[in-house]
Structure 1
Amino acid sequence: MSKNSFVKGAFILGSAGLVVKILGAFFRIPLGRLIEGEGMGYYQTAYPIYVLLLAISTSGFPIAISKMVSERRALGDYKGAHRVFTITFRILLVLGIVTFSMFFFGANFIVGTLFKNPKAYYSMLSLAPALLFVPIMAAFRGYFQGRNNMTPTAVSQIIEQGARVGFGLVLAYILMPRGAEYAAAGGSFGATAGAIFGMIFIIFVYRLNKPKIDKELKRSEHFPEEPVNEIIKNLLIIAIPIIIGASVLPIMNMIDVSIVMRRLIASGYTQAEANTLYGQLTGMAATLINLPQVLTMSIAMSIVPIISQSLAVNDIDEARKNAKLGVRMAILLGLPAGVGLMVLATPIMQLLYPSEPASVGKILFVMSIGVVFLSLIQTLTGILQGMGKSSIPVMNLFIGAIFKFIATYTLTSIPSLNVRGAALGTVIAYIVAGVLDLYWVKRLLKIEFEMADFVVKPLITVSLMGVVAKVSHMILVSALGNSLATVIAISLGAMVYGVTLVLIGGITKEEIERLPKGKKISKFIPDRK
């Protein structure tokens, strides 16, 4: 599969992911203002364990389907590719029923006995059906991605998040007079509504494509039919390490709240102060750090089938070229995002959360250091998964999580650092995992990343961008106020970054042409001599 297809796939998923993240950010702010701290407490009690169960049931299988479908299609085995999809669909349906049952029938025990927050019961019940519908949707998404068609996944993601926001906010508003726990349940039901609408859409798209799929099946090359147990075995070999890896952060997030809160209190903060600091870390700063992820995650999702297909036909050079392109894109997207959040940390936080103290910007400043490493982790993980080495990034993430646990426990109790110690712990985890992933990709694919293209040129570009953004904000803030000055500073920084990147050859005309509509844009780009 060509690099052009890879970049276009990443662009489609990245665009959809950006819309989804924007909708998600829009959802959290008005929901918090509507149901206030009490309601958000019930909402957040149910949500972390929901995310964990969702990771278990859906994280690994779409990638496994994508990889196995793309490999068989590359060889002309269309029947085998479709058979992988149908078998995995049944597995995910069963997993959905199991996780739904655990969440729905065990809700009282979970919130009452484990979390000691019985009023979160209705939020648990509202989220439970989503665990049934999302796995079904995940099966179709993985199949379309294996066909190198990213559009159904992208559109279904937007529909899912749009329904979540719309239904969640409306139901929370309607139910607010009955009490915060019912309003929180209304907000939680948004996830279920989104899953239903997203599932309906992607099934509809599958039905539209069924005649084309049937034609492919008729002209499929003849291969011996794989036994069901062999397909399941191969699926699990790919999916289980990914599921374990995807579960690390949700599990750490569930443990983190206990560690951070206790260490803050041990250092002299009151329960209320510790709760506020933790909210600033996870509900505000972390939300912004996650925003650039949508672009780099799209690279990771797109690169898995591309690497798989290249290796399936023994085209090592093509695999190396796509791996290097993926890493370059991760750096060119993650580095400016991190530097931008760093130099404008306090202005950005004051723009989005004007009622919060300026000190919350210091938390964002620390966490922004980890953005580029998180971007690399996601892309390098996709490369390793495409190579069939899914266990490597999982192990690296576990090693990073150990560093995070030690650093968070130690640093958070230092009064001068407080919750920034937890932020540093997260950054350290990203650095450790990212460096280890890079080592293994270089070793297994035997590739070198040129210092000029992968380090020097990006650093020169983001340094100039950072200076322009910071200085422009300092000049404009007294006359225009923080909000307008921040928006202008971000815009100027982005313009400088794009222009400088082209002028110093940080991105080539050929690479721009691989983007959707890239040939039109490339007309304005000079040829490199």
Structure 2
Amino acid sequence: MSTKDSLIKGTLVLAIAAFIARFLGIFQRVPLQNMLGDNAMATYGIANSIYFLLLMIATAGIPVAISKLVSERIAVGKFAEAQRIYAAAIKFAIFAGLFMTTLLWFASDYYATNIAKDKDAVLAIRALAPALLFFPVIAIMRGYFQGRQQMMGNGISQIVEQIVRVIVSVGLASLLLFMGTTEQMAIAGATFGGVVGGVAALLVMLFYWRRLKKQDIKDQQPDISNEKNQEEIKAAKSLTYRKIYKMIFKISGPVILIAIAVPAINFIDSSTVISLLEGKLGYSSAEEMLGILQNRAQALAGLPIIFSIAISQSILPIISSAYAKKDQLVLNRQTSLALRMSILFSLPVILVLCIAAEPINVLLFKNTLGTSVIVYLTASTIFQVLMMTSGTILMGLGQFKRPMIHVSLGVILKVAGNFLLAPWLGIGGIILSTAISFSIVMILNLLYLKKTVSYTILGKKWIGTIVTSLLLIGVGYLITMFNQSMIQLSIERITYAVHSIILGPIIGILYLLFMIKFRVITENDIRHLPIRIQKVMQKVLRLINR
């Protein structure tokens, strides 16, 4: 399989899995928000924000380091060394999980009461804390599979994790409310679903790990746990854990700062929004606005970046391998492909969510509150998409210091932006500071990447892309006007469901047609898609270009 095919296949596997997992994550929030309301969901969001930040600090850099180190060694035939690196990382993950669980449990009271200004979050944070026992190990395993370019286990584990999380979270919260417990207990029950989901994900990863190990034995790959292939195993064992951890932390230290950019920004919002907006809106309204930002806008705005995450996970081992082999041609081609795919795959999702924001908002969350917040935050994710992909490519090239500096600057700008803009623009200032942060990091990443790799993103195709976007916004407006005048059912939520069902597919189909018509998507772009998709796309291409 060519590197281009590997990138496309890996991206599709991870993107499909991530879309399903993210959809399930939104599906989980819908009944919870309907049962508990936006204020209680702010408490739920605070617990998740601090949890995800600590999880990223504990693991973010290490899976990336494992993926890079493993892919580099597999590329030059040092399989036993790759296994030894993986074993060392697993041991670290177990220690990190124990430490972070303890830290989160005992720090929950101080953080919730004195920083987030929501003492009701203490129980929810503690209910979620044990998940940190499992997810560092899961993250390391996913990094190893990523380095081996085996994406199926990663994808299936994400789906299973979310299915179990949804069932347990919604079921336990419903049960606790039915039993007449406090709202705080119900929120804690909802967050505890993350713990059970973690156990399920770990079991899936262990299954795929055993299967991969059997395949390695069949392929006669050296195993550091037995006495075969003594020469290679001896060479691998000369790589002490001390040397391994030194290599891992040399990479992972900067990567932690790069990878926590988005969780850090969400954490900044969860920690400051109430205090910044309380004087302008009052405590209850400020808490409600935080709930809308976290559980409506951030949940939906997380959909467009799924492709960027999938592309980043797929491209890292490919870039690392090409860099280890000093193959500049592959580096140039794969970098251009990854950046172009990030735009082409994420843009239709952004357009659909922005154009259909109001009906989707009512369909999922009962009312139109926060529709503008959803639109503006989702639109800003175009910067986040390129920021994440370009940052990952730089890491694959061994360039960690610069993106680390860029992200640090972005986080500083985010904090400053919140305090400067929120008193003036309210929640709009919070969103604007996020957009500024992402865009600055994106620009700096792309400028620095240009020094090493000769890449193009869309080139002259930007014109067709912009024209397509403007046409779709116009079409979306006309369809919305038609829906509002012609389709009004007795139940408002069903009315908006019909509006969403009409708008979404039409915008998605027209995006594809316009992009082909304006030659933004060409036959060369679809040549490396899976065969079945490729055949369908070629028929569409021939039909449009007649």
User: Could you tell me the TM-score, scaled by structure 1's length?
Assistant: 0.92
> For residue 304 of structure 1, what is the aligned residue in structure 2?
316
- 1:181 corresponds, among 168, 180, 184, to 184
> How far off is 1:222 after superposition?
4.3
> For residue 292 of structure 1, what is the aligned residue in structure 2?
304
Report the Cα distance in structure 1 between the residues aligned to 2:231 and 2:364, rounded to whole angstroms. 56
Pair 1:420–1:120, CA change in 2 (3 A): closer
SS for the counterpart of 1:445 is coil
Deviations along 1:268-311, one digit per CA (max 9) or x if unpaired, are 42222222233322321222111111121101111100100111
Pair 1:519–1:302, CA change in 2 (3 A): same
> For residue 248 of structure 2, what is the aligned residue in structure 1?
235
> How far off is 1:383 after superposition?
0.7
> For residue 33 of structure 1, what is the aligned residue in structure 2?
34
SS for the counterpart of 1:370 is helix
Deviations along 1:427-474, one digit per CA (max 9) or x if unpaired, are 111111111111111122133445213x22322222222222222222
Report the Cα distance in structure 1 between the residues aligned to 2:282 and 2:20, rounded to whole angstroms. 38
**Counterpart amino acid of residue 221 in structure 2:** E
Report the Cα distance in structure 2 between the residues aligned to 1:405 and 1:452, rounded to whole angstroms. 36
SS for the counterpart of 2:460 is helix
Q: Contact 2:141/2:205 (CA < 8 Å) preserved in 1?
A: yes
SS for the counterpart of 1:515 is coil
Pair 1:297–1:221, CA change in 2 (3 A): farther
- 1:467 corresponds, among 466, 474, 482, to 474
Report the Cα distance in structure 1 between the residues aligned to 2:138 and 2:98, rounded to whole angstroms. 14
> For residue 349 of structure 2, what is the aligned residue in structure 1?
337
Pair 1:479–1:249, CA change in 2 (3 A): same
Q: How does 1:166-205 map to 2 (within 5 A)?
A: 166-176=167-177, 177-205=180-208
Report the Cα distance in structure 2 between the residues aligned to 1:145 and 1:129, rounded to whole angstroms. 25
**Counterpart amino acid of residue 444 in structure 1:** T
Q: Which moved more, 1:317-326 or 1:505-514?
A: 505-514
**Counterpart amino acid of residue 277 in structure 1:** M
Q: Contact 1:473/1:486 (CA < 8 Å) preserved in 2?
A: no
**Counterpart amino acid of residue 155 in structure 2:** A
Report the Cα distance in structure 2 between the residues aligned to 1:219 and 1:498, rounded to whole angstroms. 52
SS for the counterpart of 2:77 is coil
SS for the counterpart of 1:178 is coil
> For residue 258 of structure 2, what is the aligned residue in structure 1?
245
- 1:510 corresponds, among 516, 524, 543, to 524
Deviations along 1:30-52, one digit per CA (max 9) or x if unpaired, are 12233445653543343222111
- 1:325 corresponds, among 337, 346, 353, to 337
CA RMSD of aligned residues (A): 2.5
> For residue 63 of structure 1, what is the aligned residue in structure 2?
64
Q: Contact 1:79/1:220 (CA < 8 Å) preserved in 2?
A: no
> How far off is 1:93 after superposition?
1.1
> How far off is 1:118 after superposition?
5.1
> How far off is 1:525 after superposition?
4.8
Q: Contact 1:56/1:243 (CA < 8 Å) preserved in 2?
A: yes
SS for the counterpart of 1:368 is helix
Pair 1:285–1:125, CA change in 2 (3 A): closer
Q: Which moved more, 1:50-59 or 1:507-516?
A: 507-516
**Counterpart amino acid of residue 515 in structure 1:** L
**Counterpart amino acid of residue 514 in structure 1:** H
Q: How does 1:407-426 map to 2 (within 5 A)?
A: 407-414=417-424, 417-426=425-434
Q: Contact 1:344/1:470 (CA < 8 Å) preserved in 2?
A: no
> For residue 225 of structure 2, what is the aligned residue in structure 1?
none
- 1:401 corresponds, among 385, 408, 411, to 411
Q: How does 1:342-491 map to 2 (within 5 A)?
A: 342-357=354-369, 360-414=370-424, 417-449=425-457, 451-453=459-461, 455-481=462-488, 482-491=496-505
Deviations along 1:460-493, one digit per CA (max 9) or x if unpaired, are 2222222222222222321124432332122111
SS for the counterpart of 1:385 is helix
Q: Is it true that 1:263 corresponds to 2:268 in the alignment?
A: no
Report the Cα distance in structure 1 between the residues aligned to 2:483 and 2:120, rounded to whole angstroms. 48
- 2:539 corresponds, among 521, 524, 527, to 524
Q: Which moved more, 1:241-250 or 1:60-69?
A: 241-250
Q: Which moved more, 1:32-41 or 1:438-447?
A: 32-41
User: Could you tell me the TM-score, scaled by structure 2's length?
Assistant: 0.89
